[in-house]
């Protein structure tokens, strides 16, 4: 029983990390049709922002909270700059966005190496996140619990923005029918930039969370990029509830399979399950309802 509870929390923890990494991608890839291969570097930007903030603010607890807001701003500005500088010319050309953003990602990695060096950097976790809590006879690290809470908070915040704010209504209108939204006075350009800002900012928040469970390196974002894309595809393009279900489903499946095998074998088995699922339901768990006549 203790083993099952332990693997359950391990799976939920991994699912929370995948959810944070995929949430922003669900916006930019799902709603705008952009294959953003630089999304991993926005995650990396959040990691290094946390490292820099901790060099300035020596109170680790305060530094972590400040990093969440500063990281979101840094990631958002990087995403907005990418959208305005390159992506805006490539809508409806997803393969071009793939190649261009892949190149941008390599440039960002090299710039990071030039500034911080190739060796990994460590971020110290606050005292209130050290140790673990005993839940049903299993000790769960506080850092993992914090990441779960952060993932839930990010989902609630994003869902609130999309459902209750004028910006959210504009984003949903552009997704359903861009031409009709523009005819109704919605600025699709401003909406695109705002969507990229929010999506990239959420990726940086994921980076802040990742500093609590490992070292920071220029390639850390690439470790989560493929899994984040898989979560978005399984959940259905632009579907938050699908992204949540897919992230925790992948996390739990990987956790329980890995217990009886190895990490590499578990990866292969999870990937095979995903391939089989997409053969049966290629549109993902949920689909976007549009007003398009096509």
* Confidence tier at 294 by pLDDT (50, 70, 90): very low
Maximum distance among all Cα pairs of the chain, rounded to whole angstroms: 59
Kindly give, in sequence order, each residue whose CB lies less than 8 Å from that of residue 89, ignoring residues fewer than 6 positions away.
none
Percentage above 70 pLDDT, the chain: 96
Confidence (pLDDT) at 177: 77
Percentage above 90 pLDDT, the chain: 24
Closest CA to 124 of 74, 62, 70: 62
Structure tokens at 93: 């050309």
Confidence (pLDDT) at 131: 84
First to last CA, the chain: 52
Put simply, whether the predicted model's pTM sits higher than 0.75 gets the answer yes
- Residue range 196-248, pLDDT digits in tens: 899 899 999 999 998 988 888 898 888 888 888 888 888 887 778 888 898 88
List the beta strands (DSSP E) in 121-210: 132-135, 138-141
Please state, in angstroms and rounded to a whole number, the distance separating the CA atoms of residues 30 and 24: 10
Confidence (pLDDT) at 30: 65
- Residue range 56-84, pLDDT digits in tens: 998 888 999 999 999 999 999 999 999 89
């Amino acid at each position: 029983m203790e083993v099952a509870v332990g693997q359950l929390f391990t799976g939920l923890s991994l699912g929370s990390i995948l959810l944070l990494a995929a949430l922003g991608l669900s916006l930019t890839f799902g709603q705008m049709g952009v294959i953003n291969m630089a999304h991993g570097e926005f995650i990396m930007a959040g990691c290094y922002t946390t490292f820099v903030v901790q060099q300035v603010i020596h109170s680790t607890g305060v530094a972590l909270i400040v990093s969440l807001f500063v990281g979101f701003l840094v990631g958002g500005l990087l995403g907005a700059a990418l959208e305005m500088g390159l992506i805006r010319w490539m809508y409806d050309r997803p393969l071009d966005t793939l190649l261009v953003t892949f190149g941008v990602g390599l440039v960002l990695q090299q710039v990071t190496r030039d500034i911080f060096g190739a060796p990994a950097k460590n971020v110290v976790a606050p005292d209130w996140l050290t140790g673990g809590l005993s839940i049903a006879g299993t000790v769960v690290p506080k850092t993992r619990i914090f990441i779960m809470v952060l993932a839930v908070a990010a989902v609630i915040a994003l869902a609130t923005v999309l459902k209750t704010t004028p910006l959210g209504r504009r984003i949903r209108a552009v997704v359903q029918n861009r031409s009709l939204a523009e005819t109704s006075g919605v600025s699709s350009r401003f909406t695109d930039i705002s969507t990229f800002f929010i999506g990239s900012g959420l990726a940086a928040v994921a980076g802040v969370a990742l500093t609590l469970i490992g070292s920071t390196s220029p390639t850390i974002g690439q470790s989560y990029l493929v899994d984040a894309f898989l979560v978005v595809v399984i959940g259905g393009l632009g579907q938050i509830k699908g992204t949540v279900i897919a992230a925790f489903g992948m996390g739990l499946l990987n956790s329980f399979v890995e217990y009886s095998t190895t990490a590499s074998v578990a990866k292969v088995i999870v990937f095979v399950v995903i391939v089989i699922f997409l053969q049966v339901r290629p549109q993902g768990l949920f689909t976007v309802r549009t007003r398009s006549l096509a």
